[in-house]
């Protein structure tokens, strides 16, 4: 096995192990959600109906598009299309910005209506609703942080592509960056129905 191939396999394994720890983090949040959903099914349904599913759907489309761009960037780097790779990474980052903008408006609207953890509005309502929104803010907040980290990571990788450090013969970094991005997308695919479409 060549030295380069060993490095590549090591980078890949490291990334998968890291992604596994991320899945454990979100898996824990989803288990917590399931436990409380079983305890407060009606309150969860009532609270979920207060979320804007149109914004949630828009964000789902934005993230799926960004994942497609990230996957296309990996294909482009394998073909040695440097300019196209930079454009596709740029498009992915633009989608991340779009996602965070929608999230900002969504959170602002909720907070404006007095719906946030510890608010008087939630204290006055049924306890299940308060639990739902605490989990909602925690889960979407941690996910949003991952979106920002992913965008920063892809920006850094984009610079390396532009300088030629990431190229057709050495693209493990871009592949790992895209993998991380796909995970962020996958987690949202779980968050969206759990919170926005809860019945």
What is the C-alpha separation between 175 and 153, in angstroms, rounded?
A: 12
pLDDT value of position 25: 95
What is the C-alpha separation between 15 and 168, in angstroms, rounded?
A: 20
pLDDT in tens, 62-72: 999 999 999 99
Task: Write the secondary structure of 44-93 as one string of H (helix), E (strand) and C (coil).
Answer: HHHHHCCCCHHHHHHHHHHHHHHHHHHHHHHHHHHCCCHHHHHHHHHHHH
Q: CATH code at 66?
A: 1.20.120.80
Residue 2 CA to its chain's centroid (Å): 35
pLDDT in tens, 145-175: 999 999 999 999 999 999 999 999 999 999 9
Q: Which range of residues forms the domain containing residue 82?
A: 3-196
The pLDDT of residue 61 is above 70: yes
Q: Is 164 helix (H, G, I), strand (E, B) or coil?
A: coil
The pLDDT of residue 23 is above 70: yes
The pLDDT of residue 5 is above 90: no
pLDDT in tens, 34-59: 999 999 999 999 999 999 999 999 99
Q: Which of 26, 27, 23, 4 is nearest to 15 (CA)?
A: 23
- Number of domains the chain is built from: 1
Grade residue 2 by pLDDT with cuts at 50, 70 and 90.
Answer: low
Rg (CA), the chain: 19
Structure tokens at 92: 């992915």
pLDDT value of position 12: 87
The pLDDT of residue 1 is above 60: no
pTM, to two decimals: 0.94
pLDDT value of position 30: 97
């Amino acid at each position: 096995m060549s030295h380069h191939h060993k490095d590549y396999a090591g980078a890949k394994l490291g990334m998968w192990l890291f992604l596994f720890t991320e899945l454990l983090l979100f898996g824990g949040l989803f288990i917590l959600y399931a436990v409380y959903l079983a305890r407060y099914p009606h309150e969860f349904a009532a609270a979920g109906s207060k979320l804007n599913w149109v914004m949630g759907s828009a964000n789902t489309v934005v993230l799926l598009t960004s994942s497609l761009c990230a996957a296309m960037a990996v294909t482009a780097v394998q073909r040695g299309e440097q300019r196209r790779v930079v454009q596709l990474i740029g498009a992915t980052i633009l989608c991340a910005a779009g996602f965070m903008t929608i999230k900002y408006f969504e959170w602002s609207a909720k907070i404006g209506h007095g719906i946030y953890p510890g608010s008087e509005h939630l204290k006055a309502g049924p306890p299940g609703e308060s639990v739902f929104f605490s989990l909602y803010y925690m889960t979407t907040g941690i996910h949003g942080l991952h979106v920002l980290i992913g965008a920063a990571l892809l920006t850094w990788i984009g610079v390396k592509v532009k300088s030629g450090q990431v190229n057709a013969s050495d693209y493990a970094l871009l592949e790992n960056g895209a993998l991380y991005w796909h995970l962020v997308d996958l987690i949202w695919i779980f968050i969206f129905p759990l919170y926005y479409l809860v019945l």
